[in-house]
A and B are shown apart, each in its own frame.
Chain A
Amino acid sequence: MAEFLSYFRQDRLPHIWCPGCGNGTVTGALIRAIDKLGLDKNNIVVVSGIGCSSRAVGYLDFDTLHTTHGRAIAFATGVKLARPRLKVIVITGDGDSAAIGGNHLIHAARRNIDITTIIINNNIYGMTSGQASPMTPHGMLGTTAPYGNVEYNFDLCELAKAAGATYVARATTYHYVLLEDLISKALMHKGFAVVEALSQCPTYFGRKNKIGGAVDTLNWIKEQTVNVKAAAALPAEKRAGKILIGELHSVEKAEFTQQYLELIARVQRANPTYARNKGVPGCELNSD
């Protein structure tokens, strides 16, 4: 316990989250994964957007960047490309990443930039009190879908994979051990990695949909999921409508910032006499 607390800015606690919220569970899984991997605290930058989930970064003892709604991945792209040696992690919500920030998500995936993106999907806009999100399932309720959602939700993992992400996985706050393991693997992956963490917002999603409290909402999430390995053995009718959890996609592919560094090396070899005006600071910070 104590060793994990050292990853938090304890003077910033207590957190703002409701009792029973899944955000803390996902944040805990990230911290344990970082600890297990022995990553250097000083080399980690955690970036988030706006939402309850995005508030996680404020409590973490790394360089942390709490940005504007939807833009976390774009800010993170700047951090990573400017300093490729840094381990860049994004924590984002389902509204943050799939609505307002959807464009940045797919383009970061397309580039295969080495950023680990953890999407806390609670099927709702929590921070603004329960409006429907692009991840609110068809027919379910939100304050802006008072008669049932007539829209359909994304399959975020399929979306990320189709857009070019080279590591894609999904777990839930119920399947905690799996979640931590998948986050570890995502952190070790070189390229754009997405972990979708299905999580409970008992306060708005659970209550609005009359699912019940935190435990009921957690169980509601659990009931819908099936592990991708187990699913292979299930008859089609038992698999229908289930959400797959586990590692869904993992491929090796040249990473964006590494390729850019190679490009620089190639261009500089071809232009050996080219240098900045003397006296103007060069790129000493760009050696990585």
Chain B
Amino acid sequence: MPEKARLMQGNEACTMAAIAAGLEFYAGYPITPSTEIAEICAEELPKVGGKFIQMEDEIGSISACIGASLTGAKAMTATSGPGFSLMQESIGYASLCEIPVVIIDVQRVGPSTGMPTSPAQGDLMQVRWGTHGDHPIIALAPGNVKECYELTFRAFELSEKYRVPVVVLTDEVIGHMREKVVLPDSEGYTIPRRAMPQSPAGYKPYAADPQGGVPLMAPFGTGYRWHCTGLFHDENGAPSSKPAVASALMRRLNLKIESKADELADCVAEGLEDCDIAVVSFGSSAMAALSAVRRSRSEGDKVGMLRLKTIWPFPSATVQRLLAPAKKILVPEMNLGQLALEIERAAGCERPVIRLGKVNGELFHPDEVFAAIKEAF
């Protein structure tokens, strides 16, 4: 397929990427600012033989996606704050039962109904810790429309590979922004499905392979007759409340993703090598941050920029290494300091981490970040 330049919206880019990645099943419930994703799926999926269903709520949506994924289908849903909150219990189910599913969370201002048509980045911690218990999850944050495409594609790749829910964390501005995008040429490129067993004989649905810690997943309806349960379970999938079984399961599950944190790290660095001040941001806040950083540098200040594209698992070692030269770290984000907390933990030691939070529904203006950089010197 020849490369094609198109003007498209972030939400549209996420959807087109999902379809290119082999999306077969979408279940969702309308919510601003994510609704276009459902609408495009309703229209496009039947054309490629895929299925779309508008469920009665977001709990039903994520649950239906998990059911579909268990039959081998690549499944996705999309939502925003209030719906993402409703999905949490079933996200935990997918984490524990190791069922691939992709969730696009187009963030809006909260808590509660908040400001439905205004952007925010307040789900950063919810995406990590929204469901109860320690659990694995991956979250990717695109910074522009092209990355909506790339990271949604990547979300399917990772979700299938690691059998884990992957959240693409965008926001109202990135979701609705239109940019010219040259679609990557995906000809000949296949996103492999989750690894499947060869034969039902002796199949153990939760026996980890020695390398990756990811068990083989048999699609329902193909003769394996296995049991999938949200109770803690042993290698055979049998419910168990034995401390040794619980501990082995929890450690394998969490290590499966945590141990890959630096392999999964994905970020864009600029001018960090000699910086006094490092600005760290993600998503749409990073657009204003980057232009402020460039302006500061053009005026001779030693400022660098780090934009994170993988948020979870948090790339601590990478962040530590890249931020090493900085004397101070400034974190502009559309919440009251959620990323800053994580930066403090990973790279804070004895350096001030300055929070530049914004929760009024407005994007950062480069001048605001520029002023904060000046003040930090």
- In the complex, B49 has a CB within 8 A of chain A: yes
- Cross-chain contact B46 with A264 (CB below 8 angstroms): yes
8 A Cβ contacts from A261-288 to B: 263-264, 267-268, 271, 274-283, 285-286
CA separation between A283 and B25, bound complex, in Å?
10
A residues adjacent to B (C-beta < 8 A): 9, 11-12, 41-43, 45, 47, 57-58, 61-68, 71, 74-83, 85-86, 103-104, 107, 260, 263-264, 267-268, 271, 274-283, 285-286
Q: How far in angstroms is the closest Cβ of chain B from A127?
A: 12
27 chain-A/chain-B pairs, Cβ below 8 angstroms: A11-B238, A42-B221, A63-B226, A64-B225, A64-B226, A66-B227, A66-B230, A71-B63, A74-B64, A75-B64, A75-B67, A77-B64, A78-B25, A78-B69, A82-B25, A83-B71, A104-B56, A263-B46, A264-B49, A267-B46, A271-B47, A275-B48, A279-B186, A279-B187, A279-B190, A280-B20, A280-B190
| Shortest distance between the CB of A91 and any CB in chain B (Å) | 13
Given contacts A12-B238, A86-B220, contact A79 B67 (CB under 8 A): yes
Q: CA of A285 to CA of B238 in the docked complex: distance in angstroms?
A: 28
Contact A77 B22 (CB under 8 A): no
Q: Is the CB of A42 within 8 A of B222?
A: yes
Task: Kindly identify which residue among B24, B69, B221 contacts A283, using a CB–CB cutoff of 8 Å.
Answer: B24
Is B70 in contact with chain A by the CB < 8 A criterion?
A: yes
- Chain B interface residue count: which class? 35 or more
| Most chain A beta-carbon neighbours within 10 Å: one of B56, B69, B231 | B56
Separation in Å of the B100 CB from the closest CB of chain A? 13
Per-residue contact bits, chain B 334-368, to A (CB 8 Å; 1 contact, 0 not): 00000000000000000000000000000000000
B190 touches A79 (CB 8 A): no
Q: Is the CB of B49 within 8 A of A57?
A: no
**Do B73 and A82 have beta carbons less than 8 Å apart?**
yes
Contact B64 A81 (CB under 8 A): yes
Judge whether B47 and A78 touch: CB under 8 Å.
no
Which of B48, B93, B228, B230 is packed against the most chain A CB atoms within 10 Å? Answer: B48
Give 20 A-B pairs besides A67-B230, A103-B56 with Cβ atoms closer than 8 angstroms.
Answer: A42-B221, A42-B223, A58-B239, A66-B227, A71-B60, A77-B55, A78-B64, A79-B67, A81-B64, A82-B68, A83-B71, A263-B46, A264-B46, A274-B48, A276-B22, A277-B1, A286-B24, A286-B50, A286-B51, A286-B73
